[in-house]
Chain A
Amino acid sequence: MITIQKLTAGYGKLEILQDLSLTFAERQFSAVLGPNGSGKSTLMKAIMNLNTVFGGSIQLKDRELIGEPTEAISRLGIAYVPQRENIFAELSVLENLQLGARVLPKRERPTALKALQEIFPILGRRSAQQAVTLSGGEHQMLAIAIAWLSKPTIMLLDEPSAGLAPAIATEVFRVLQALRQQGMTLIVVEQNARRVLQYCDYAFVLREGMLVFQGSAKDCLRDQETIKGYLGVH
């Protein structure tokens, strides 16, 4: 569970999130929605300490994360899949996976790499390839796989379906749903609200750095006004 209270965060001197308070429940697939510039990615980066936090608190089960180095946050079981540059492009697929598994104790690594094959069968067949040569969908799967291999309890994903063909985006969300069924807490930032609402449990809608709506995915889908008003989709 991640509890965020009165968080003000942004980049350099620019404040994007204003006094934001919300709670991501355990073992839930939460979506953070909102138009461009609403502060969705800023929120994820603030959790990982990758930008500037001006005030407030971010707690993982009573443990304050603000001020912790990114590496330490990752070791607490929070994995983050950035939107861009989320793989080691020059390295082979296998090397990417080995780096993902490096935080595990040595004897657990082979099992983890094997288990990976079941969730991401395509990556096994591509293991010798240089990661930069993967297709868009495979690339995204690799990014998710790197994060998954560290056996996180919480996974943050920044627009995992961006730039993917609809069928492949669906494939990505199916994988995320499978991870959620394994008991992982998922927090996904998305612009394409309609699709993610079909898979997630709960949704938060941000606008200009503030929380304007939260509720179950069903409520959010039912409440057409919310979708139109806040997200601008038709």
Chain B
Amino acid sequence: MPPALLTTSLVNTIQIGSLYALMALGITLTFSVMKLPNFAHAEYATAGAYAALIVSLSGALNPLVIMIAAFFVGALSALISHLAVFKPLEGRDVSFYTLILASFAVGLIIRYILFTMADYFNLFDLRIAIPLRVLFRDGYLILSNLFAWVAPTSLVLVFILTLLLNRSPLGREMRALADNINLARVIGIPVERVKNYTWLLVGGLAGVAGALWGLQTAVHPLMGWVAIISVFAAAILGGLSSFSGTILGAYVVAFSENTVILFLNVNYGVDLAYKPAIPFIIIIVVLLFRPQGLTKLIRRAGDLGR
């Protein structure tokens, strides 16, 4: 494979992998704390992207303002979906499958609310209007100011999230809920409040991920939905329980979708159109052979990531 292609694909791996990590950590956290594989997570990202787009179109071009707007809208959509749908369902003690289907339904509703809005205001395939600047150029490899935003922001947020989970009292309570929710109740942890904070956090991070996504491609009502299978593949690689496994999983998926497929294309003539199949293959292989995900492998290697 030509070195320039390889470098470009590795840069994409880092960029896309960081975004996957940001979203997949939310999936893992929701699954651990709420026992819910939430497919509506995709739409929190899309909602965040639209918030970022609208704020940027209205003239606020400060990336920080844009990200905060995205966080806020993502967080709010997550909290509302919890309070309006998931919490009442949990109260009725419905089965796990009902919750999964409900999460699809919530996703569908948000997605088509966004479609309607995008249609009305003609907001399809627009890029968040931060001016583009080329920072670095070497043959095929072009690094813009967007790259300088996307990967570092994701990495910093992933770092802050891990710190919050492992070092702060709220994070400790979230992990306590994930571990043993009945005991958490018994010792007086305000379970519903911790759940609300968790929803705000995962929704907000998804929103920021969506905005960062919209920076490098374009904002569309289907953008979150298109990414969700890859994001789930990353979370499943983390066993839906391990944060370090999920982060690693995100980069594995991104690497497979960018570098591996390119390698197969250049050397064996595999068509690049097979790229969307990669996350499905990863999910099936992991669930068949290693349903606990990468966690144990990492622990064995000495990293005591939770």
B182 with A50: CB separation less than 8 A: yes
Report B243 CB to chain A, min CB distance, Å: 12
Give which listed residue, B172, B186, B188, B191, contacts A91 with CB less than 8 A. Answer: B172
**Chain A residues bordering chain B, tally (CB within 8 A):** 26
Residues of chain B within 8 A (CB-CB) of A138 are none
Q: List 23 contacting pairs A-B, 8 Å CB cutoff, sorted by A.
A: A70-B185, A71-B185, A71-B188, A79-B186, A80-B186, A82-B183, A85-B182, A86-B183, A87-B180, A87-B183, A88-B179, A90-B175, A90-B306, A91-B179, A98-B169, A99-B172, A99-B173, A99-B176, A102-B173, A103-B187, A146-B187, A150-B187, A150-B188
B182 with A74: CB separation less than 8 A: no
Residues of chain A within 8 A (CB-CB) of B306 are 90
Docked CA distance A12–B169 (Å): 35
Give which listed residue, B169, B176, B183, B188, contacts A75 with CB less than 8 A. Answer: B188
Residues of chain B within 8 A (CB-CB) of A48 are 186
A85 with B172: CB separation less than 8 A: no
B298 at interface, CB cutoff 8 A: no
Q: Which of A184-232 contact B (CB under 8 A)?
A: none
Residues of chain B within 8 A (CB-CB) of A146 are 187
A95 at interface, CB cutoff 8 A: yes
Docked CA distance A75–B191 (Å): 13
B54 at interface, CB cutoff 8 A: no
A89 at interface, CB cutoff 8 A: yes
A147 at interface, CB cutoff 8 A: yes
Identify the B interface with A (CB < 8 A).
169, 172-173, 175-176, 178-180, 182-191, 306
B187 with A91: CB separation less than 8 A: no
Report B28 CB to chain A, min CB distance, Å: 14
Known: A79-B187, A102-B189, A147-B187. A95 touches B182 (CB 8 A): no
Report A131 CB to chain B, min CB distance, Å: 9
Residues of chain B within 8 A (CB-CB) of A99 are 172-173, 176, 184, 187, 189
Closest 6 CB pairs of A and B: A74-B188, A70-B185, A88-B179, A90-B179, A103-B188, A80-B186
B182 with A82: CB separation less than 8 A: yes
Identity of the chain A residue whose Cβ is nearest the Cβ of B173 in the assembled complex: A99
Identity of the chain B residue whose Cβ is nearest the Cβ of A86 in the assembled complex: B183
A39 at interface, CB cutoff 8 A: no
Residues of chain B within 8 A (CB-CB) of A90 are 175, 178-179, 306
Residues of chain B within 8 A (CB-CB) of A75 are 188
Identity of the chain B residue whose Cβ is nearest the Cβ of A131 in the assembled complex: B179
Report B254 CB to chain A, min CB distance, Å: 28
Report A108 CB to chain B, min CB distance, Å: 15
A160 at interface, CB cutoff 8 A: no
Docked CA distance A227–B189 (Å): 40
Most chain A beta carbons < 10 A, residue from B172, B178, B306: B172
B183 with A85: CB separation less than 8 A: yes
Residues of chain B within 8 A (CB-CB) of A95 are 172, 175-176
